[in-house]
Chains A and B, each alone.
Chain A
Amino acid sequence: MIEFRNVSFRYERSRGFAVKDISLEFKVRRIYGVIGPNGSGKSTLLRMMNGLIPHFYRGEMVGRVLVDGMDTREASVAQLARKVGLVFQNPEHMFFSESVEEEVSFGPRSVGMDESEIEDSIRWSLEEVGLWELRGRSPWSLSGGEMKRLSIACVLSMRPTFVALDEPTVGQDALSKDSLINLLRNLRDEGKGIIVVTHDIEWLEELDPDEVIVLSKGSVYERGPPEDIFSDVRGLVMNQLMPPISYLIEDLLRRCLSVRSAGNA
């Protein structure tokens, strides 16, 4: 479980707090969707899960973030990487090896996994994302969707309990986005906790997460099952978010019909 207990954080050069007094829990076997306008603290939230904050990004931190009981201020990023795998937006920020297989082995080696485990881990993570056949290829020779899946494999190979993804659908085409949904659902069913930060609301609707969390100006505005959150059209629009089209249409229809009947009365 990842626990945020009354967490606030202010970046070193900033005056305002990026996240304010956040208390949240993330459990395994669940998919969480995190949405919010620019500057709402989404990226900051992710960075606090694997220790990048406070170890790499300096600033003022209040409260505690516990990952399976480990306090992120005390554990190192390398230790936390074995619990929380953070996948960034641009896969090309990671690649430096000659082959896909070598690339995937980097994580396990860096965090000090046992040699005996590493080989199995590589195979499992590549098969999980469907890239085992391409393991001899150079990472840069892959297509956009394949690169995205490779970046996820690089994190999976450390066998984390949680996988957190920052805007995984940016720049991906329709087929790639579909396969991402399947992958995330499989990972959840295998016992992992998945946290996705995204602004692609239609894709999120299709992913059908167990819970949606709406961030606004550093605080949690709302959280709950997707149906509840997406139906709150007014709340979403007020926070500069678009609800999925189907919810928008239903909301508008309801209003049209109520106006109609009010007109008839």
Chain B
Amino acid sequence: MHVSMLIKFEGVSFKYEGSESYAIRDVNLDIRRGDFLLIAGMSGSGKSTLLRMMNGLIPHFYRGEMVGRVLVDGMDTREASVAQLARKVGLVFQNPDNQIVTLRVDREIAFGLENLGMSREEMIYRVNYALSKLKIEHLERRPTYELSGGEKQLVAIASIIAMKPEILVLDEPTSELDPFGAARIVRILKELNREGITIIVAEHRLDLFAPSSNRLLVVHEGRIKFDGDPREVLYDDPHSLGVKSPGVVKFAKDHGIKERPLTVGELLKAMTR
């Protein structure tokens, strides 16, 4: 079966203008359609830089020196504009307050669609789609300044989902959410992934995301140190790379459990055998 390469990094290095060191170095990465990719690493490790290279913000919005090339569904990000790439790659940023630009939730979700010159019927359909996907129908007419931190994060994600990108990239989407809210986001992403959308998430909260992802990338000092099955790396002591093991992994290791569970459910199964 032919598995298409959706995003390809070929020997990519990047140095921000005015910086002395490279933010990322010699990155070779093939992201397949349908992947649920989790990217972990310390702050300043290069995670955010990687994400911004996927929709063209680097090199169009951020100046600097770029080596190598990034292909998104065949398009070279050095040639295609951010607007062109943003139709395929939806990027949700860390701070929802700095993404919300309108005064009402439904207008906010429609904002990106208006930029794309969509017809009104299609926009109405998509706004409803995004609201129901994130289960925030009750927020439709809410003024944006009345939203809580968690609600803002949901609205920011809804605004990008409405654009129906093939690839959804999120930079720490659960920072404002409590564990229950964060778990909800993971469920929604898993659902979207099952529907065929490629998901790429940069996160610290591995305990929540690792079980749902099929691939884990660990970035350290600008290089990719590990790329593969989440189970393998998490049981391999990533602490030296600044990555904290999920509680389940620690428990399993402490109690000498041979199977490598990632969730409490898997752990219990292994223990009650």
Contact = CB atoms under 8 A, between A and B. Distances in A.
Chain A directly contacts chain B within the complex, with at least one CB pair under 8 Å: yes
A244 B267 CA distance: 15
Interface string B222-264: 0000000000000000010011101110110000000000001
Nearest to A203: B244
Contact of B178 (A171, A199, A202, A257): A199
Contacts of B68: none
Contacts of A78: none
A250 to B, nearest CB: 9
B231 to A, nearest CB: 17
A160 to B, nearest CB: 28
Contacts of B242: 173-175
A177 B250 CA distance: 17
A174 B268 contact: no
Nearest to B206: A174
Nearest to A205: B247
A245 B255 CA distance: 14
Nearest to A144: B43
B215 interface: no
A11 B264 CA distance: 41
Contact of A246 (B42, B148, B175, B247): B247
A253 B272 CA distance: 8
Contacts of A248: 264
A252 B264 contact: yes
B251 A245 contact: yes
A14 interface: no
Which secondary structure dominates where chain A touches chain B?
helix
Nearest to A177: B244
B264 A173 contact: no
A242 interface: yes
Contact of B248 (A245, A253, A256): A245
B271 interface: yes
A251 to B, nearest CB: 10
Contact of A252 (B43, B179, B244, B268): B268
Contact of A240 (B42, B180, B267): B180
A18 B219 CA distance: 43
B175 A249 contact: no
Contacts, number: 59
Interface residues on A, range: 20 to 34
A257 B242 CA distance: 36
Interface in B90-122: none
A38 B179 CA distance: 12
A245 B247 contact: yes
A110 B244 CA distance: 40
Nearest to B150: A38
A240 B179 CA distance: 9
A37 B43 contact: no
B207 interface: yes
A256 B273 CA distance: 12
Given A245-B248, A246-B251, A145 B178 contact: no
Interface string A227-252: 00000000000001010111011001
A249 B264 contact: yes
Contacts of B8: none
Contacts of A144: 43-44
A143 interface: yes
B204 interface: yes
Contact of A143 (B44, B175, B271): B44
Given A171-B175, A173-B242, A249 B42 contact: no
B42 A175 contact: yes
A245 B245 CA distance: 12
A253 B265 CA distance: 11
B246 A245 contact: yes
Contact of A249 (B148, B239, B244, B268): B268
A38 B178 contact: yes
Contact of A245 (B175, B243, B264, B272): B264
Interface string A136-177: 000000011100000000000000000000000011111111
B204 A173 contact: yes
Contact of B179 (A145, A170, A242): A242
Contacts of A246: 247, 250-251
B43 A256 contact: no
Contacts of B244: 174, 177
Nearest to B183: A242
Interface of B: 42-44, 148, 175, 178-180, 204, 207, 239, 242-244, 246-248, 250-251, 264, 267-268, 271-272
7 contacts: A38-B178, A173-B204, A202-B247, A240-B178, A242-B179, A245-B264, A253-B271
Sorted nearest first, the 4 A-B pairs with minimum C-beta distance are A245-B247, A174-B244, A173-B42, A242-B179
Given A244-B247, A245-B246, A245-B251, 10 more contacts: A173-B42, A173-B204, A174-B244, A240-B178, A242-B180, A245-B247, A246-B247, A249-B267, A256-B272, A257-B272
